């Protein structure tokens, strides 16, 4: 748009302000969608959906379960329930990184995970029996 006089300038300013408002609304919408997709329940739902659609349900289910469980626990242990937005963002980034790491290394993490779970459940059962 070529601006030749003050009327053209005002029209250009209005057009840019409208564009700014549209882009601001779109950005807010994208952030809300991202926040929703990173909630644990939605991660679980999307993982279950991927398991249903893909071949090899058993190994994929194990990977998904271990990955989601480990990332949720690690985020909770590392960052707790911190109120700061910066810590929440860092926690989500760490959670996503750990999810990828666990997903790629599930076979090597399986034996230590099984022994840890058996120790946890054995100790709880021994407490209950007393």
The DSSP code sequence of 71-97 is HHHHHHHHHTT---HHHHHHHHHHHHH
pTM of structure: 0.38
CA distances from 15 to 2, 3, 9, 128 (A): 13, 13, 10, 70
**Tens-digit pLDDT profile for residues 79-122:** 666 667 777 777 777 777 776 776 676 667 667 766 766 776 66
The token pair at 82 is 């911190």
Task: Find the mean pLDDT for residues 60-84.
Answer: 67
């Amino acid at each position: 748009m070529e601006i030749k006089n003050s009327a053209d300038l005002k029209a250009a300013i209005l057009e840019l302000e409208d564009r700014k408002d549209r882009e601001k609304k779109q950005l807010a919408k994208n952030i809300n969608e991202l926040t929703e997709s990173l909630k644990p329940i939605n991660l679980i739902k999307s993982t279950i959906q991927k398991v249903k659609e893909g071949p090899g349900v058993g190994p994929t289910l194990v990977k998904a379960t271990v990955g989601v469980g480990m990332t949720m626990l690690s985020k909770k242990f590392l960052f707790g329930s911190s109120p700061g937005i910066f810590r929440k963002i860092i926690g989500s980034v760490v959670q996503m990184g750990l999810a990828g790491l666990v997903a790629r290394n599930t076979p090597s993490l399986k034996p230590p995970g099984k022994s840890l779970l058996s120790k946890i459940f054995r100790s709880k059962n021994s407490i209950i029996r007393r």
